[in-house]
Amino acid sequence: MKKNLALLSMIAACIALSSCATVQKNPLATWVPSKNHDIRKPVLIVVHFTEEDSAQQALDTLRSQNSGGKVSAHYLIGKDGTRYQLVDDRKRAWQAGAGRWGTMTDLNSTSLGIEIDNNGHEPYPDAQIDSLLVLLDDLCRRWNIPRTQVIGHADLAPGRKPDPGKFFPWKRLHDAGFGIWPADDAPPAPQGFDVWRAMAQVGYSLKDRAGAVRAFHQHFRGDDGDVLDAEDARILYSLTQPEGIGTEAQPQAADTQAPTQ
């Protein structure tokens, strides 16, 4: 009995120390805690491909580093649909890097990253996408992330990143309720429609316009073209109408300015 009591006391002490360790108190100020707070929450989900030869190779990289340095993601999905979690949803994984989506610029702080085992040159197996859809539903429900706020790495970093590539089935995701996609019966864009303004309204940075168009084409047309045409204008017109993505799907600036941990 004494040994059990001693063990329980030790466990309680460890829990107490762990709880204290999570609170960062500034020695320059008097600590007067308020209960009116909660954790910072993600508002965006970013989909990647691993560009590796296997899930195990990707797991090794995501727990160490690649040629550019240390890298990670919150989740990895294998070809057979197996899901792995590498980073707590509440923590900042090093997955998005430099980029912009709408008003957000610190994407590592505002997004969850999902790596998918794919080398970038092949279709995604059904089991893998089925597994992704289950995960997306869970994350959007638990964190109250708008289901339109699911994008690719290339979308936020055009010209720098190509993933998840032209083989990724964005329409299938949209049919399941995630991401954005033009209406099947969308009419042509009216004369004078500003395609660049529409690109920015959807969320793309126009710093590298050719790169932005390539990312847009990979997402919505399944190719690598870098010139906007009439079909692109039709798609953009559909996405920016009130019944499409509209401005309401864009996170407010306040969401992007949360202090870092």
Alpha-carbon span 258 to 36, nearest angstrom: 16
pLDDT at 10: 45
Q: Return the active site residues.
A: 115
Give this prediction's pTM: 0.83
Within a domain: 65? yes
Number of folded domains that form the chain: 2
Is residue 254 situated within a structural domain?
A: no
pLDDT at 2: 45
pLDDT for residue 98: 94
What does the DSSP assignment read for 176-213? TT-S----TTPPPPPTT--HHHHHHHHT---SSHHHHH
* Locus of tokens 């045409």: 229
Same domain, 60 and 175: yes
pLDDT score at 243? 66
Identify the CA nearest to 41 among candidates 91, 4, 75. Answer: 91
> Where a domain ends, among 123, 151, 179?
179
Distances 176 to 141, 171, 220, 227 between C-alpha atoms, Å:
14, 9, 16, 29
User: Does some domain include residue 7?
Assistant: no
Q: Which domain holds residue 244?
A: 182-248
The answer to whether position 36 is within a domain reads: no
State the CATH number of the domain containing residue 158.
3.40.80.10
Mean pLDDT by 10 residues, the chain (261 residues): 46 43 77 82 96 94 84 96 95 94 95 97 97 97 97 97 97 97 95 97 97 98 95 97 53 32 28
Strand order in the sheet with 111-116: 83-85, 75-77, 111-116, 44-49, 150-152
Q: Which residues have CB under 8 Å from 196's CB, separation 6+?
A: 206, 209
The domain boundary, picked from 153, 179, 205, lies at 179
Contact partners, residue 138, CB within 8 Å, separation at least 6: none
Answer yes or no: is 71 within a domain.
Answer: yes
